[in-house]
Amino acid sequence: AQSVTQLGSHVSVSEGALVLLRCNYSSSVPPYLFWYVQYPNQGLQLLLKYTSAATLVKGINGFEAEFKKSETSFHLTKPSAHMSDAAEYFCAVSPYNTDKLIFGTGTRLQVFP
């Protein structure tokens, strides 16, 4: 079965610092991987997706993620954190050609001034 593991339930950074949120996947077939963001009291929104094209994927709000097969990782990064980035971030995996997403446990990002 496919799954994702998010390392670190909470990450704190200063405004302007690098953001790195970690996600490792487990899959017996090439996975489709996603990052979603949840702002307080809202549903989730798609940040970016990897579907076996380019390994470096750019998303909204300056975020990007790199698919590394050798490390079974799909970490999310942003060069410079902004206060508005404070939210909970979820990594997800999907079986081939379905919209059935399996989510990780989430990482809450805090940004300090």
28 near another protein (CB under 8 A): no
Residue 52: left if φ>0, alpha if ψ -120 to 50, beta else—which one?
left
Tell me which stretch binds another protein (CB under 8 A): 16-24, 34-42, 52-60, 71-79.
34-42
Question: Least distance from C-beta 103 to another protein, angstroms?
Answer: 4
Segment 62 to 101, residues that bind another protein, using CB under 8 A: 90, 94, 96-101
- Indicate whether 35 belongs to the interface with another protein (CB under 8 A): no
Name, in order, each residue with C-beta under 8 angstroms of 90's C-beta and a sequence gap of 6 or more.
6, 35, 36, 37, 38, 44, 103, 104, 106, 107
